[in-house]
Structure 1
Amino acid sequence: MPRVPRSAGVTAAALTFGLLATAPATADEPAVSAPRVVAHFDFAKGETPENIALEPDGSADLTFSNARQVANVTPQGRKRILATLPAVADPHTPVVGAAVVLGIARAQDGTLYVNYATGTRATGIWRIPSGGGKPRQIAQLPTNGFPNGLALDERRNVLYAADSVLGTVWRVPRSGGKPTAWAEGAALEPRNAPPAARVGVNGIKVHRDAVWVSNTNAGTLLRIPVRDSGCAGAIETRATRLYAIDDFAFVDRHRDTALAALTGGSEVALVRPDGTHQVVLTPRDGLSNPTSVAVRGRTAYVPSAAYFTRKDPNLLLARVHQRDRG
């Protein structure tokens, strides 16, 4: 979620600290420990890491939203720019006013897909060759929308883009082409926020025969079943009171336990299948408005964009493991 007015961030942070729904930890759920910041970025250069995809070697592909770049960052903190989205004359992007690169998804062959929001015909999904190279637009999305999170379902060969302003999940063939409004409804729409901070459906993941999304303004984690026909089923609310939630990731492919970035309060929460949650990472660990999460094996990756703090955008790694039954 790119930078919005500071007052909106303060409000979100206050809600996050004041209204957390928590429950005691249990011995059979994951724990997060040993957080460490492995890379620091330059806010003044637009190096605000918005979203993340992981490479087989353990490095992270990050979208630097305000710089319009995609960068590869190793666990040792080495950075390499993979692509820069083309500049747009006179962008009219909702929410932020500037052209920003947002969600990212990686295919098994290494191809990267990113959302680009500009307020112009350049708004849509762009493809980047494996290893980096010149981006190419493969689908145009509405110019008055804000395509935020992006997910790839390789089994069905489709991409899903979460539009935070229009409250829509778009479905696009992986090869590109015309988008379809796959899911819509009040549960996906922005609400109860100033116009410049109205951000509805945001993060998105394909998990266990469903598309899961977050709604930032509503503070919810939602599940949308994928029917055999490929159509969307009824939207289910799976967790609430996740105030200022951005993107999220599941700890493994077999369970509905997730780690969610709560950007306003600079926290990461462990969200249980029953909807309760517990904060497991905080600003003391190095978070500075985290925007997304990725998990591979026993490692969690958390980019912080510092949209509201404006201090120390970074990439944090932490260990994910089972609690000691001791």
Structure 2
Amino acid sequence: MPRRPYLAGIAATALALGVLASAPASGDEPIVSHPRVVAHFDFTAGETPENIALEPDGSADLTFAFARQVANVTRHGNVRSRVTLPAVADPNTPLVHNALVLGIARAHDGTLYVTYATGTSETGIWRIKPHGGRPHQIVKLPPNGLPNGLALDEHRGVLYAADSALGIVWRAPVTGGRRTAWATTKALRPVPSGTGFGANGIKVHDGAVWVSNTDRGTLLRIPVRRNGSAGRTSVRATGLDGIDDFAFTSRHGDTVLATVNTANQVVVVRPKGTHSVVLTQQDGLANPTSVAVRDHTVYVPSASYFAPEPDPNLLLARLNRG
């Protein structure tokens, strides 16, 4: 996600985050190979890809944060705009001060849900119908928050949003309506003297909600109890300073690929919490913001927030094992 950007002419604030403190790589061959950049985007137009959801045909739906857009990118790099979120007068989003489209989740019927952070009453979760059309706000979230990552649990019919500024996981029905502060543990909050970004990426996986905390460099697991409430939070990995979003390499295992934005890295995080670097700037990463996995393909959007010569892009690579 954005870290107090960045875009020349759009935002003047700059932020320096810590560099990844990663465990040394093992002697095993990397699980990711054959990286290639398939699409480049226009930084000056705000085409800074922030989050990703995959379509059945293997194309990627990306949120362009500062352009307030959702775009579709094919595996061959063809780009088309799907929808633009409405402009907001005098946006005042915490930490960023711009209106941003951030998280995205896709339902099986093709409905898209996105988080929109504005610092106004427009802040919340918005729905985009499968065939496009005007997006609608279905859940209002606090204007003093920064709703970032978004996850969908279709089995329970709920959405989870990670609020980076307030350090809260919000939960709301997919039909829209009232939000609930589902998880509010200290482990989700930013560090008082840190960047201001706490809970960031979020995924529903194997009976739990997993969340990354950028400031604390941690990966968290919060079990979902039978009644839908949050169980006790456990820390599954540490030392991931600047972690952004993440994805699991398979449905049933707990191995994770995570992006580390300012370090220009993707790391593999093992179930016991050890981690090592699998992709770097030399592979084409430019402040990677999120990651998605489909079968043997890894997708990594980069927003290029801090690069002296910005190159926002979408990188694809091969997943060899999980």
Which TM-score band (shorter chain)?
over 0.9
Give the deviation of 1:49 after TM superposition.
0.2
Which residue pairs with 2:10 in the alignment? Answer: none
Shift, 1:40, TM fit: 0.1
Structure 2 CA distance for aligned equivalents of residues 267 and 124 of structure 1: 30
1:153 maps to 153
Q: Which residue in the other structure is 1:226 paired with? A: 224
- Give the whole-Å Cα distance in 2 for the aligned partners of 1:253 and 1:157: 19
Answer whether contact 2:263 2:287 (CA < 8 A) is retained. Answer: yes
Q: Quote the offset at 1:187 in angstroms.
A: 0.3
Cross-structure match for 1:139: 139
Equivalent residue number for residue 83 of structure 1: 83
Give runs of aligned pairs for residues 267-282 of structure 1, distance below 5 A.
267-282=265-280
What amino acid is the match of 1:21? A
Distance 1:216 1:278 in 2: 17
For 2:318, the equivalent position in structure 1 comes to 319
Aligned to 2:9: none
Q: Distance in 2 between matches of 1:298 and 1:254?
A: 15
Q: 1:257 to 1:137 in 2, by over 3 A?
A: same
Question: C-alpha deviations, 1:260-296, integer Å up to 9, x for none?
Answer: 0000101000000010001000000000000000000
Q: Which amino acid aligns with 1:215?
A: N
Quick one: distance in 2 between partners of 1:22 and 1:69?
38
- Please say if 1:262 is aligned against 2:260: yes
Cα drift, residue 11 of structure 1: 3.8
- Distance across 1 between alignment mates of 2:188 and 2:17: 21
2:67 maps to which residue? 67
Give the structure 2 partner of residue 127 of structure 1: 127
In 1, Cα distance between the equivalents of 2:204 and 2:131? 24
Is contact 1:3-1:308 (8 Å) kept? Answer: no
Q: Does 1:302 align with 2:300?
A: yes
In structure 2, do the counterparts of structure 1 residues 193 and 288 end up closer, same or farther at CA, with 3 Å as the change threshold? farther
Task: Provide the rounded CA distance (Å) in 2 between the counterparts of 1:3 and 1:237.
Answer: 23
How much does 1:21 deviate?
2.1
Question: What residue identity is the alignment partner of 1:317?
Answer: L
Q: Deviations over 1:81-124 (max 9, x none)?
A: 11100000001100110000000000000000000000000000
Q: What is the Cα deviation at residue 53 of structure 1?
A: 0.1
TM-score by length of 1: 0.94
- The match for 1:174 is 174
RMSD of equivalent CA atoms: 1.5
Instruction: Give the ranges of 4+ consecutive aligned residues of structure 1 lying more than 3 Å apart after TM superposition.
Output: 5-11
Mark the CA change 1:297 to 1:247 in structure 2 (over 3 Å): closer, same or farther.
Answer: same
| Cα deviations by residue, 1:112-160 (Å, 9 ceiling, x for unpaired) | 0000000000000000011322100000000100000000000000000
Unaligned runs of 5+ in 1: none
Is residue 23 of structure 2 the alignment partner of residue 21 of structure 1?
Answer: yes
Match of 2:199 in 1: 201
Instruction: Supply the AA of the counterpart residue of 1:318.
Output: A
Shift of residue 185, structure 1, vs aligned partner: 1.4
Q: Which amino acid aligns with 1:24?
A: S
Q: 1:161 to 1:175 in 2, by over 3 A?
A: same
SS in structure 2 of the partner of residue 322 of structure 1 = coil
- Contact 1:4-1:307 within 8 A present in 2 as well: no
How far apart are residue 23 of structure 1 and its match?
4.5
C-alpha distance in 2 between matches for 1:248 and 1:322: 17
Q: 1:5 to 1:52 in 2, by over 3 A?
A: closer
| Structure-2 separation of matches of 1:60 and 1:169 | 25
